[in-house]
Structures are given as C-alpha cells and as structure tokens.
Amino acid sequence: MNKPERKGRQMGKVEDTQENFKICMDGNCSTCPSYPKKSDEGLFCARGASKAHIEKKGCNCPECPVWMDNGLSGMYYCVKQSKE
Ligand code: SF4
Ligand code: SF4
C-alpha cells in the first residue's frame, strides 16, 4: 500500500545519515554558540539530545538545510526534552 506523502506541517523525521551529519557539522550545529564543545555529537534532530548539559545561547537549526528540507519547526534538538 502506498500512502500519499503528507504535505505541509509534519513531524520531522530526519534520517540519521552521514550526509545529514556532514551538513549539520558544516556550519550549523558545529558553529552554534550552544553546541557542546569537545563532543563529537551532532545531528541532534535525528539522533536525539546531547549527553552534555546545554546552555541555550542560540540555535542555528532554522538556517540549516536539513531543517528546511525536512520541514522541521523545532529548535534546540540538542537539549533534552526540548521540542520547541
Ligand atoms: S540543535 Fe540547535 S542549539 Fe543545539 S547545537 Fe544544534 S544548532 Fe545549536
Ligand atoms: S536541524 Fe539542527 S540538529 Fe538538525 S542537522 Fe541541522 S543544525 Fe543539526
């Protein structure tokens, strides 16, 4: 059965791929003031929150191609229990 793709507002389901990770680390999470330094984490929108304690100092997600391409609307995916 083929379900038609839902358009418009949808829950972001970002794929955990090396390509998406690269985009995330190419000036998106990697240059974010909130990004946990000394970590090799990233792609939080797909992999879930960071293990580190994050201080919210801004979020680059809305400028990220992964964010746009997946129709995401949230921010601070690195922060636990943060959906907004
Ligand atoms: S999820 Fe947002 S706040 Fe967290 S490191 Fe990435 S860009 Fe920054
Ligand atoms: S939307 Fe945010 S967490 Fe996801 S890849 Fe982009 S910058 Fe990283």
- Kindly state whether residue 4 falls inside one of the protein's structural domains: no
* Structural domain harbouring 33: 18-69
- Kindly state whether residue 83 falls inside one of the protein's structural domains: no
pLDDT digits (tens, 9 = 90+) for 8-67: 444 558 999 999 999 999 999 999 999 998 889 999 999 999 999 999 999 999 999 999
- Kindly state whether residue 3 falls inside one of the protein's structural domains: no
Q: What is the pTM of this model?
A: 0.85
- Placement of tokens 């929108």 in the chain: 45
- Kindly state whether residue 82 falls inside one of the protein's structural domains: no
With 80 as the cut, is the pLDDT of residue 5 above it?
no
pLDDT digits (tens, 9 = 90+) for 61-70: 999 999 999 9
Taking CA atoms, 7 is separated from 10, 53, 63, in Å, by 7, 35, 21
- Kindly state whether residue 10 falls inside one of the protein's structural domains: no
Q: Ligand 1 centroid to 47 CA: how many Å?
A: 12
Task: Give the total number of structural domains in the chain.
Answer: 1
For residue 60 and ligand 1, the question of a CB distance below 6 A is answered with yes
- Kindly state whether residue 62 falls inside one of the protein's structural domains: yes
- Kindly state whether residue 8 falls inside one of the protein's structural domains: no
Minimum-distance ligand 1 atom for the alpha carbon of 64: 7
